[in-house]
Structure 1
């Protein structure tokens, strides 16, 4: 995002905060307190996102990323990405910055679509818990169908782009 847009939004926020404070000081102070408490609760997740992104980029060089997950890897790269997503258990918010950096460093769009899709819908790590509530047949079928759906989504995206 352009620095101009960022500064515009900061300025707009400051003006709106001042207007709110002028209209009702008590409500504005309470809202700012709540916002700060929410920020305190979300801060560990943002730190995890930064650490996760940094760790991935430290371990995987652009050449490695391109070799395993680049557009030239085709269906094999899509399967590898979907499999990695299926076994990964991280907050969804942490995935998008990582995927953004992987794309900048040579990963293919379809491969990253498969990764995100499988990560958010397939839960191999949580399968034992899922079988407890859904039963083994339903849990396995749900995960299998969503894994196949993540592959299909990536293939469609690859054909469209």
Structure 2
């Protein structure tokens, strides 16, 4: 059986070769830019993965299930929403974290709430947001997104 990663790699290679045939200069420039971007994100990505691994090593799965599992209810959802709101992690790093949380016993509803607040609510970036959009708009946006994230998490919990 062929897995999705293998298909993705083959398609990427074929499209890169096609791009080389169509415009070699632009393709090489794009590959160089992509490599620089990879170098810029590799260290932060590895650092966060190491921190998450250490945290999961220290925190037993039973504790994750207790506070973030299916039986944790609204309390677990609020913990996930608050942690997601104050954490500043890029999206591409949050997906492996979500996978690990689910494997360790966290519920889909809680992981959905965490992921949604992570992307939509920015407590850490609030001062910058206030500077650009004004106090009222920045706070209103964050409060509405916080509530929306909880609704989305609850909806995911009902579906899954």
- TM-score calculated relative to the size of structure 1: 0.80
Is residue 2:64 matched to residue 1:65? yes
RMSD in angstroms over aligned alpha carbons?
2.7
Q: 3-state SS of the aligned residue for 2:124? A: coil
| Cα pair 1:127 1:139 within 8 Å, conserved | yes
User: Aligned runs of 1:35-54 on 2, under 5 Å?
Assistant: 35-54=34-53
For structure 1, the residue ranges without an aligned partner over 5 or more in a row are none
Larger radius of gyration: 1
Most deviating of 43-52 and 141-150: 43-52
- The range that moved more, 107-116 or 47-56, is 47-56
Partner of 1:148 in structure 2? 147
Partner SS for 1:107: coil
Task: Choose 136-145 or 37-46, whichever is displaced more.
Answer: 37-46
Structure 2 counterparts to residues 108-127 of structure 1, below 5 A? 108-127=107-126
Tell me: CA distance 1:4–1:145, structure 2 relative to 1, closer, same or farther (3 Å).
closer
Identify if the C-alpha distance between structure 1 residues 9 and 128 changes in structure 2 by more than 3 Å, giving closer, same or farther. Answer: closer
Tell me, in whole angstroms, the C-alpha distance in 1 between the residues paired with 2:44 and 2:156: 29
Distance (whole Å) between structure 2 residues aligned to residue 19 and residue 130 of structure 1:
42
Count residues with an aligned counterpart: 159
Structure 1 distance, partners of 2:87, 2:45, is 18
Contact kept? 1:81, 1:114, Cα under 8 Å: yes
1:85 paired with 2:106, answer: no
How much has 1:32 moved relative to structure 2? 5.1
